[in-house]
Structure 1
């Protein structure tokens, strides 16, 4: 009960801070294979733009996948399939090691990925994308590419991901209050997608992350702040 009451008081503090803050206020492909993949699916006359400009290898690949999936009108299906194969790498150490091992010949990687996609009945968009990754030796970066792809799909749906970390799960009514507060901060036209994480190491309180902002009112952080304060020597001449 004490933990729950503390969580409730910290939620109110978070809401007040968030509202106060409110009131105060691409190159796609790195090689020919990826360029060909990005333009091969769907109508070439269809004009599609990525909703976010992403950089680096993961940005280039995820943007190419997004363009192809949107042109084929299969964004949701492709997102599910990509997430499924990422989960498979987490559940199978052998599969995870396979996609990271650059010593595996390219044709072996391509055949294995093709067989996996066929068995899973993946769409042509996903299969072809994974084959391009296998040919380019990029399967080891699948997890980071998948995360950037999800960023694009969320932006496409005008969703904003917010992560709240607590010691115990937020009760439904408090989760609803926090979601509504964040929605008020973010404004109309976007939808908050709230994700809860449990981390006993924060000791209590809340940590809220959204739109590259972090609001940390955890007991762990407060304790560290107090420790730093206590370590500062007192200047008696100023008293």
Structure 2
């Protein structure tokens, strides 16, 4: 099945990732075949790494610790230019990156499971995907906790009354027990209306979007 979707190089990487995670989390072959199903769909290379990490960490009951460690390492990535430069440097050999990554993880006091995972990224030449992997992992963890993140973008700030009414309307649409995390942002370029982002999907109800569609219709009609 894997061959149907991935090329030889990616297939080898996925196999290596599986083996490394088994060693990192001391998961037996039988347990690995029954790893926990990921509660949210994430895409791309970063999604595959985040999904594999979630499954293994869940099985070993270290999800919260791994999540904290990933948040910590992302904080360093965002705040320390030298670390960011190291992570994104394509000229460093993978072996050297792996060694340095393990040293940094040790200094930060990361758990062994988290350290091994970061080393795996370095070993596979995927350390540059670090921030994206963390974002994918957080997306999975929100689903794990039954949280639904929604971002509402408007051309002008919404009043508290409008926000409250919108929150109430959204709450009625979600599954029972699901926790809503609604954030609001302002983007004048949408001109009016709303853009609602739910996970990796969005609904564009903006005036700018309508104007664009109108232009496309006019151009197609000429």
Could you tell me how far 1:139 is from its partner in structure 2? 0.1
TM-score, with length taken from structure 1:
0.71
1:36 aligns with 2:24: no
Equivalence for 2:8:
none
Distance 1:98 1:201, change over 3 A: same
Higher Rg of the two aligned structures: 1
Q: CA RMSD in A?
A: 3.2
Which residues of structure 2 form unaligned runs of 5+? 3-10
Could you tell me how far 1:208 is from its partner in structure 2? 0.8
Question: Is contact 1:39–1:68 with CA below 8 Å preserved after alignment?
Answer: no
- Which gives a bigger RCO, structure 1 or 2 (Cα 8 Å, sep 6+)? 1
Could you tell me how far 1:204 is from its partner in structure 2? 3.2
Distance 2:83 2:96 in 1: 13
Distance 1:173 1:80 in 2: 35
Question: Is contact 1:159–1:190 with CA below 8 Å preserved after alignment?
Answer: yes
Distance 1:152 1:38 in 2: 20
Equivalence for 1:166:
154
Equivalence for 1:104:
92
Distance 1:90 1:210 in 2: 25
Aligned equivalent of 1:194, options 170, 182, 191? 182
Which residues of structure 1 form unaligned runs of 5+? 1-25, 235-239
Equivalence for 1:13:
none
Q: Which moved more, 1:95-104 or 1:28-37?
A: 28-37
